[in-house]
Structure formats: structure tokens, C-alpha cells
Chain A
């Protein structure tokens, strides 16, 4: 019995303690619909010589999201635990700021890069409370027919295309030319 308790204690010790603000333990508002950041082009701020203005409430929302997703007390774990290694995208809708956080591939070079691991937080501007979080890979909601998360598609594809084959598509006309010469030459 004592051995069983010890194993249990070690297992519990290996689990993370609850951290963060009170909003971390609050139930999330599942009615909030997240915008799709991938379909919108973002306007970058920070150009030299240009002045930008930002409401304090919006700034607080970004800080609240960053504090919860990238806690300061864990910054020494790895390069990817530092918020300077991330890019933040913000979309305001009414009293909600949606804060999208993605890894910046340049930040930890030449170290190893992340697959997935990003998140979007919905933060209420009026009180800075996190209303809902959506991490990469989590279901957005009920899958809609035809959405990327939905089940099998209708309509036949070309049966002559082998599974996973990459040779049949035309090169994208806007593929950046400076990338084309990258990497090692073909043998």
C-alpha cells in the first residue's frame, strides 16, 4: 500500500500545478466564434519612423493573452518559451480582442522549429478577462460539411494520382523567386 501511495505521489508530483490568473479557472464561453486569421492579411506594426497608436485596453488584452500562454516564470525553459519568439496578431470585434499567437521561425534559429503549438485567445476588452482559448488542433466547434475538420469529401479525385504524390500540381506563380534557389542542389 505504501509503495502504491509513493507511486501515486510521484505521479502527482510530475503533474503541473495550476497556475495563472483567475480567468484560467473560469469556464470558457463556448458561444464565441473564433475568426480565421489565415484568410486575412495582417498589417505589420513597428516600421521605423512610423508612429502607431494603441488603446490601453487592447494592449492589456495582448498582455493578458501572452501572460497566460507564455508565462514569464517559464521563460527559461527553452527559446520557444520566450514571447519574443512569437508573433502576435490582433483582431478586434466589438468588446472582444482575438489574439493569435504563432511561433516566429526566425526567432530561435538555428534551433529546432515547432509544428503546431499556436493558440488564439478571446479577451474581453472592458475587463481584460479571457473568455475562450483555442489551441492548434483543438476542435473549433461542430464540424461543418466541407470544413477542414469535417469527414470524408464528396466527388472523385483523379485516381491516377498516387497517394500523397506532389508532382501533379502546377507551381504557384507567386512562389517567391528567392526561395526557389534555396537548399542543396538536386543530385
Chain B
């Protein structure tokens, strides 16, 4: 039993327990004991002219947050880094004046006493006082995966549920943009870097993995999702392994 308390103390020292330090102004979270936030304020980053620029800025910002990356599993101390790791989530949205903007972040999550389960509860709505709420278009649901794992079942069901509220496609100045969910990852712990992300686009069924290489960004289609129950959101994923090429279909 003593061992467990020392373990806990060590995790606290690493940053696993809530501290009394002032909350990062980039973050919002509910007060202790309060219900989960149901709307997210904006803006945090932007305005951007292209969704790619906004996405990469969000990747760098989210992965710069404490314990956003647990690094590689084969590196010493991975278990401890995993236990203290955190997920952060946000929306990237499109404004009536044709800009891409990133909302503030939240790290509100379902508590797991064992600190092994990681989650982020992303509010469905963004409130940006500059625009009427119904004028915002939801483009990317953003979060990080501390280990860089693939998108989870809950991630896929989340974005379909949000698509049924906000729509799966939005008209922008650069064309019709599809709603998608993204999970950023870093291969390093400190300092973390935007090394890639997993992406799922409900309208096409594409599951993609983007990685940054010395020669630039590369995209691989890792799967295709088919829905079998439109109410219970049951689905299967056909595993794929090939580069992203126009004209090859989903």
C-alpha cells in the first residue's frame, strides 16, 4: 500500500494532479464539481486564410500543452508518462468573413482513478462574440493522442454525431469543405513537435494518417469506414494501406 502512495506522489510531482497554479489562458475547464462545459469560447488562433495553415497552427499549439505527448512506448518511463498525459480538444471553424479560426482549448475529461483512460469532452458549440452562433461553420474537431494511436471508436461516433447537428459539408471561399476529426501526435515528449495526425472524414469514409517527413507532409489512407446502423452508429473499418492520391476514390 505504501508503494502505491509513493507512486501517486511521484505522479503528482510529474504533474498528474491538479495544481493551484493559474489556469493557462488558452484553456477553459469547468469549476471543481461543476458540470462539463457545453460551449467553447473562441477565438484562440487566427484568422487564417487556409484550413491547412489553421490546422498546423492548432497542431503546434495543442502539442505544446503540458503532457500532451507521452512519446514512444519503447522509451524508458513510458508508463508514467502515459498516466500523466492529457488530451486537449478544440474546434477549428469558419467565420462569415471567410476566415479559419481555432477556438480555445479544453482538457475536461472523464475521471479515471487509475489514470489510464484518456478522454476529452469537446463541447458541440463554439461561442465567438464577433459572430452570431448560427453563422459559424464547423470544419475540424481537434484533439491530441498522447501516444499517437489511431482514432478511436468514440472519435468516429463523435464526429458523425456532430455532423448530424452542424452538417457534414460547408461552403467556403475555397470550395466545399468536409467536416472531419483530427488527432495530432508528436514523436517526442519535450519539446513536442507536430509530427503528424490521424483524420477521419465522415462524408467520404476516409481514415487518413498524415506524417511530416524531411521532404514534407505525406498522407496515407489507412482505412475506410462503413456504417451499418445509422442510429446506434455501428460501423466497421476496412483496413487499407496506400498513399493518398486524387481519383483513387475513398
Residues of A whose CB lies within 8 Å of any CB of B are 8, 11-12, 14-19, 24, 37-42, 44, 69, 71, 74, 77-78, 80-81, 87, 100, 102-106, 110-119, 133, 135-139, 142-143, 146, 148-149, 151-153, 155-172, 174-176, 178-180, 182-187
Cα A81 to Cα B160 with chains together (Å): 22
Interface of B: prevailing SS: mixed
B198 and A116 contacting across the interface, CB-CB below 8 Å: no
Interface string of B233-250 (1 = CB under 8 A from A): 111111101111110011
A115 and B143 contacting across the interface, CB-CB below 8 Å: yes
Cβ of B211 under 8 Å from chain A: yes
Contacts of A187 in B (CB 8 A): 96, 135, 137, 171
A39 and B237 contacting across the interface, CB-CB below 8 Å: yes
In the assembled complex, the CB of A67 is this many whole angstroms from the nearest CB of chain B, namely 13
Question: What are 17 inter-chain pairs, A to B, with CB distance below 8 A?
Answer: A11-B17, A15-B8, A41-B228, A41-B236, A111-B36, A111-B38, A115-B119, A119-B117, A155-B220, A161-B246, A163-B52, A163-B56, A164-B55, A168-B244, A182-B163, A186-B171, A187-B135
Contacts of B122 in A (CB 8 A): 112-113, 115
Contacts known (A114-B110, A139-B73, A172-B203); A156 close to B119, Cβ less than 8 A:
no
Contacts of A171 in B (CB 8 A): 203-204, 250
Contacts known (A112-B122, A114-B110); A135 close to B116, Cβ less than 8 A:
yes
Is the interface on chain B under 10, 10 to 19, 20 to 34, or 35 or more residues?
35 or more
A179 and B164 contacting across the interface, CB-CB below 8 Å: yes
Contacts of A178 in B (CB 8 A): 230
A170 and B204 contacting across the interface, CB-CB below 8 Å: yes
Give the nearest-CB partner of B51 in chain A.
A164
Contacts of A135 in B (CB 8 A): 112, 116-118
In the assembled complex, the CB of A77 is this many whole angstroms from the nearest CB of chain B, namely 6
Contacts of A133 in B (CB 8 A): 116
B167 and A157 contacting across the interface, CB-CB below 8 Å: no
Which of A44, A118, A152 is in CB contact (< 8 Å) with B232?
Answer: A44
Contacts of B61 in A (CB 8 A): none
Give the nearest-CB partner of A168 in chain B.
B246
B198 and A148 contacting across the interface, CB-CB below 8 Å: yes
B119 and A114 contacting across the interface, CB-CB below 8 Å: yes
Give the nearest-CB partner of A103 in chain B.
B154
Which of A148, A158, A163, A167 is in CB contact (< 8 Å) with B222?
Answer: A148
Interface string of B99-131 (1 = CB under 8 A from A): 000000000111111111111111110000000
Contacts of B31 in A (CB 8 A): none
Contacts of B108 in A (CB 8 A): 112
Cα A174 to Cα B4 with chains together (Å): 51
Give the nearest-CB partner of B217 in chain A.
A163
Contacts of B169 in A (CB 8 A): 186
Contacts known (A112-B36, A113-B121, A152-B218); A179 close to B160, Cβ less than 8 A:
yes
Interface-central residue, A102, A136, A149, by most chain B CB under 10 Å: A136
Cα A48 to Cα B5 with chains together (Å): 49
Give the nearest-CB partner of A156 in chain B.
B243
